Amino acid sequence: MKAVIALWIWIIIVTVLSLIPDTGMQIDYFPHQDKVVHIVFYLVLTFIIRINLKSNQNVLHAKAIMMAVLYSMILEFIQEWFITGRHFDYFDIIANIIGSLTGSCIYYLLRKQNHNG
């Protein structure tokens, strides 16, 4: 139950932060910092989705990744069509995919480590 609550809280956080209109006032601490944020958002999202799924392990990694990437694409289209100052960005989706793959790999490695040791 805690994992389900964590999932919904994280979905709300990602949604709100993804749909806040861009005011142009953001401070760039390093180049492409927004892509790092996308990677972290979707790493965590995929990891939490994976925790919530039960069944065949290999199928679940693919499902978790597909769910997170589909969600990210929906948010990108919402940004393009409905949010002033935001736009669809293919590089955001690439960063989201990298984050999702990384989150799934981390889950797999932690699970494997817990079963072996």
pLDDT of 109 above 80: yes
Q: Which has more confidence, 63 or 23?
A: 63
Using one digit for the tens of pLDDT, what is the confidence trace for 61-98? Answer: 889 999 999 999 999 999 999 998 899 999 999 999 99
pLDDT of residue 46: 95
Interval 34-65: pLDDT, tens: 999 999 999 999 999 998 887 667 778 889 99
Question: How many domains would you assign to the chain?
Answer: 1
Write the CA distances from 19 to 8, 13, 45, integer angstroms: 16, 10, 16
- Residue 111 belongs to what domain range? 2-116
Structure tokens, 5: 């609550």
